[in-house]
Amino acid sequence: ERRGISERASLDKRALRRSFLDNLLYVQGKFPRLATKNDYYLALAHTVRDRLMQRWISTAAAYTTQCSRTVCYLSAEFLMGPHLGNNLINLGIYDVAAEVVGELGLDLEDLLYQEEEPGLGNGGLGRLAACFIDSLATLEVPALGYGIRYEYGIFHQTLSDGWQVEKTDKWLRFGNPWELARPEWAVEIKFGGHTEQYTDEHQRLRVRWVAARIVNGVPYDTPILGYHVNTANTLRLWKAEAPESFDFGQFNRGDYAGAVTQKIVSENLSKVLYPNDEQEAGKELRLQQQFFFVSCSLQDMLRILQIQRIPVEKFHEKFAVQLNDTHPSIGVAELMRLLVDEQLLAWDTAWDITCKSFGYTNHTLMPEALERWSLPLFQRVLPRHLEIIYEINARFLDQVRIRFFGDEARIARLSLIEEQGPRYVRMANLACVGSHAINGVADLHTELLKQDVLKDFYELCPEKFSNKTNGVTPRRWIVLANPRLTSLITETLGDGWIRDLDLLRGLESHIDDAAFVQRWQAVKRANKADLATHIERRLQISIDPDSLFDVQVKRIHEYKRQHLAALHIVALYCRIKANPNIEMVPRTFIFGGKAAPGYHMAKLMIKLITAIGDVVNFDPDVRGRLKVAFLPNFSVTNGQRIYPAADLSEQISTAGKEASGTGNMKFQMNGALTIGTMDGANIEIMEEVGKENFFQFGLLTPEVYAWQARGYRPQECYERSPALREVIDLIGSGYFARGDSSVFKPLIDVLLRYDPYFLLADFDSYVACQDEVSAVYKDKHRWARMAILNSARSGKFSSDRTIRQYCSEIWNVDKVPVRLLS
């Protein structure tokens, strides 16, 4: 029976309804009266999953028969967010699915919120990887995302008395309908032990790694469908398991308990995501995790070469392997080991292949984020890789010595091994030496890499360096997150903008169309009302949807300066207390973000914000003109509610510290105006929207450097600015801590003594700029026009643009359109 495609893949409404009810019965084993909301979510998820399969198989078939050049994106983090809504949109069946569930008395949005999001990342870097694989699929580029299937993702944040409390993220509790285990493609990963030399049958000296322990890596595949295309690429995440033979085999004969312990040790490898952002901790398990997923992935690539009968010498022609920061950079040494020790290639051939395969993206200028592993630790976990790194280093430094004769200081800086004091392996140096391309993630960031962090590598090989300014996917961050805006834009311009975001420029010609501007304002107002309702439910504080929504959502970090925003709130509060009848634009300050569990100052910053809220929100003098809401557990899901409702986007990092930022782009697309420093991609956002549509303040990067060189004295700023003094003194007095002056003392002390992130230096400039924001907001029409222009000029920040640049300038890959197999 072949009447077109099977019922199970059909996108028409009747087929969807039948599948949905079928899956409720056959997958969930429930009839409607007994079904929970989660049963309905899973029934719908399976309905969608069925419809992905045909595309997934067709894609795999196209890539296999054409032996397509493939991007392998190696990332320790993929912060995907929920899949169901995105897949409905990319399949083009969101509205019809809403009708189907609606006719059964259910609400689609309600079902979407049932999905536990896979929070397999910390923040910017992990979310960037997710946007990139969406764009790769939409652009029909053959690509695999490789990472770790953490059993526990980023912790769930709750607040207790205004302090952050962490809860484990049991995202797999109710099963994961989007993944497929592929145990037939499991690989073995070695750890520890020692190396031995031996001579092979050709009398050549070779090295054998005799491991102390073996762990199995089992791939779990998730299809990643592009927007309105047949391409469904694969996200392949590795789970660690104890090998059967190891459990009860020769090592543990008779030792049942020992075998079980061994199993637990093995499975610990993919147990939990490290919640540190921009702070290197040097933990052994983290190095093991990195090696685990990288070795699994490289072995998987060798398997793919084999089934496509491509000789191993052509590895670099088949694969473009991208290192998402240094976390996967052990791959340079591991590919050398696989090619030399196991595939028996000559060192020089292997090195040539390795360098042509890898590209390295740097994501941070923070020195404390640069990964280094102590030599004893490295030797213990990866003895063979240490030898390989020594060999790479010796050959590399020989060349450096010839180029820079006698420059021993430079050689010490370029070395893969840090030699002053305790010795370390420097992973950024390994990534630079082993890659043919090195990139930063915004113009300023790339310039600072060249001048500063990677200066020596730039002077050695300037041709390796390029910039790839980050971007975000408009499918998730506009179409899915902001359906009202999506309808307005599509009714105005057609729907081409979803694949070609530059078309948003077309909105500019509607800026004088009063009806359009009014509809724009209505969209924002409705989004704000939705968020207000959400906040009221969660936090029991009333929110005025007509107040200015001033939003800062991102990881909590001193360099991102959430506490500068807090100082501003206190400054406004002081104005009200001094003159309760003062005229003031009502504002709602919305914060969200997680602090690394061991980062005490970041946790204190959260407490400061919540403590200010607890006073300001209930002081009758304020008369509702200021509200402060810290929304717990900022995540992809929560971001999707927040960005569309923002009026003002806070991007206030110290100049020269934020590599790019990507939240800034999500706000801009959704029509928020930015108040920001000249940092990261803010600079490029201002270039696109024009100075007159951007609120700029603060020191510039060279000014920060100059202040540092001169010896910055924050105390002087404090003494010079009466407003600042009042704010600092009020917090220091314990006013926001029921009179307990000890609570915020550590934070105030750092600001007055060192202020490493220049809050006090930027305070007056920030407050003046915020006053300008309020003045503009009073003119609602002017504000709306500026907001429309921000959206209209956000095309550059689509990750489609970013990925096109990676494809042509680093990866040299082309698209491979997929024909649907019937």
Write down the least CB distance from residue 125 to ligand 26W, Å: 3
Write down the least CB distance from residue 124 to ligand 26W, Å: 3
Contact call for residue 130 and ligand 26W (CB under 6 A): no
* 778 belongs to the catalytic site: no
* 594 belongs to the catalytic site: no
N-terminal to C-terminal alpha carbon distance within the chain: 12
What is the rounded distance in angstroms from the CA atom of residue 47 to the CA atom of residue 56?
A: 15
Residue among 464, 555, 627, 657 flagged as catalytic: 555
Write down the least CB distance from residue 702 to ligand 26W, Å: 19
The residues near 801 (Cβ < 8 Å, ≥ 6 apart) are 471, 501, 795
For ligand 26W, the binding residues in 265-304 under the rule CB under 6 A are 276-280
Task: Specify the DSSP element, H or E, that contains 197.
Answer: strand 194-199
721 versus 805: smaller Cβ distance to ligand 26W: 805
What tokens were used for 524? 């924002």
* 555 belongs to the catalytic site: yes
Identify the CA nearest to 284 among candidates 298, 269, 295, 299: 269
Write down the least CB distance from residue 496 to ligand 26W, Å: 28
Write down the least CB distance from residue 331 to ligand 26W, Å: 16
Contact call for residue 470 and ligand 26W (CB under 6 A): yes
325 versus 688: smaller Cβ distance to ligand 26W: 325
Residue among 384, 476, 554, 793 flagged as catalytic: 554
Contact call for residue 662 and ligand 26W (CB under 6 A): yes
Contact call for residue 701 and ligand 26W (CB under 6 A): no
What tokens were used for 245? 């033979």
124 versus 434: smaller Cβ distance to ligand 26W: 124
Segment near ligand 26W (CB under 6 A); pick from 42-50, 122-130, 315-323, 422-430 = 122-130
Segment near ligand 26W (CB under 6 A); pick from 121-129, 161-169, 190-198, 411-419 = 121-129
Contact call for residue 17 and ligand 26W (CB under 6 A): no
Contact call for residue 383 and ligand 26W (CB under 6 A): no
Contact call for residue 659 and ligand 26W (CB under 6 A): yes
Q: Give the count of alpha carbons within 13 A of 443, CB side only.
A: 11
Task: Specify the DSSP element, H or E, that contains 418.
Answer: strand 417-418
What tokens were used for 578? 């001094």
Given candidates 62, 80, 125, 631, which one binds ligand 26W under the rule CB under 6 A?
A: 125
Residue among 55, 156, 327, 363 flagged as catalytic: 363
Q: Is the dihedral of CA 157, 161, 163, 165 positive or negative?
A: negative
- How would you classify the pairing of strands 143-148 and 119-120? unpaired
593 versus 661: smaller Cβ distance to ligand 26W: 661
86 versus 653: smaller Cβ distance to ligand 26W: 653
What is the rounded distance in angstroms from the CA atom of residue 444 to the CA atom of residue 446?
A: 5
283 versus 720: smaller Cβ distance to ligand 26W: 283
Task: Answer for the pair 491, 96: CB distance below 8 angstroms, yes or no.
Answer: no
What is the rounded distance in angstroms from the CA atom of residue 487 to the CA atom of residue 479?
A: 9
* 337 belongs to the catalytic site: no
What is the rounded distance in angstroms from the CA atom of residue 157 to the CA atom of residue 165?
A: 6
What is the rounded distance in angstroms from the CA atom of residue 364 to the CA atom of residue 445?
A: 8
- Count of residues that interact with ligand 26W, criterion CB under 6 A: 23
Given candidates 116, 300, 371, 558, which one binds ligand 26W under the rule CB under 6 A?
A: 371
Residue among 149, 445, 560, 568 flagged as catalytic: 560
Segment near ligand 26W (CB under 6 A); pick from 30-38, 49-57, 483-491, 660-668 = 660-668
* 533 belongs to the catalytic site: no
Segment near ligand 26W (CB under 6 A); pick from 66-74, 287-295, 507-515, 652-660 = 652-660
Given candidates 83, 318, 363, 476, which one binds ligand 26W under the rule CB under 6 A?
A: 363
The residues near 523 (Cβ < 8 Å, ≥ 6 apart) are 482, 484, 485, 488
364 versus 790: smaller Cβ distance to ligand 26W: 364
Contact call for residue 441 and ligand 26W (CB under 6 A): yes
Calculate the CA 628 to chain-centre distance: 26
Given candidates 85, 118, 153, 661, which one binds ligand 26W under the rule CB under 6 A?
A: 661
Segment near ligand 26W (CB under 6 A); pick from 118-126, 132-140, 296-304, 575-583 = 118-126
The residues near 140 (Cβ < 8 Å, ≥ 6 apart) are 226, 229, 231, 815, 816, 817, 818
Contact call for residue 650 and ligand 26W (CB under 6 A): no
For ligand 26W, the binding residues in 302-331 under the rule CB under 6 A are 325
Render 638-665 in DSSP notation, one character per residue: HHHHHGGG-SEEEE-PPTTT-S--SHHH
Write down the least CB distance from residue 128 to ligand 26W, Å: 4
441 versus 570: smaller Cβ distance to ligand 26W: 441
Calculate the CA 747 to chain-centre distance: 28
58 versus 662: smaller Cβ distance to ligand 26W: 662
Calculate the CA 700 to chain-centre distance: 26
Write down the least CB distance from residue 169 to ligand 26W, Å: 17
Contact call for residue 658 and ligand 26W (CB under 6 A): yes
Segment near ligand 26W (CB under 6 A); pick from 116-124, 193-201, 718-726, 765-773 = 116-124
Task: Answer for the pair 458, 366: CB distance below 8 angstroms, yes or no.
Answer: no
Residue among 49, 149, 568, 666 flagged as catalytic: 666
Write down the least CB distance from residue 366 to ligand 26W, Å: 7
H-only helix segments in 540-619: 562-578, 600-616
Identify the CA nearest to 213 among candidates 311, 109, 281, 291: 291
Q: Torsions phi, psi of 673, nearest 5?
A: -90, 150
The residues near 709 (Cβ < 8 Å, ≥ 6 apart) are none
Task: Specify the DSSP element, H or E, that contains 26.
Answer: helix 13-26
Write down the least CB distance from residue 457 to ligand 26W, Å: 18
* 560 belongs to the catalytic site: yes
267 versus 280: smaller Cβ distance to ligand 26W: 280
Given candidates 86, 87, 288, 660, which one binds ligand 26W under the rule CB under 6 A?
A: 660
- SS3 of the chain: helix, strand, coil, percent, to 5: 55, 15, 30
Q: What is the C-alpha radius of gyration for the chain, rounded to an integer number of angstroms?
A: 27
Q: Torsions phi, psi of 784, nearest 5?
A: -60, -40
The single-letter DSSP state of residue 798 is: B
Write down the least CB distance from residue 83 to ligand 26W, Å: 21
Site for ligand 26W, rule CB under 6 A: 122-125, 128, 276-280, 325, 363-364, 369, 371, 441, 470, 658-662, 680
Q: Which positions are catalytic?
A: 363, 554-555, 560, 662, 666
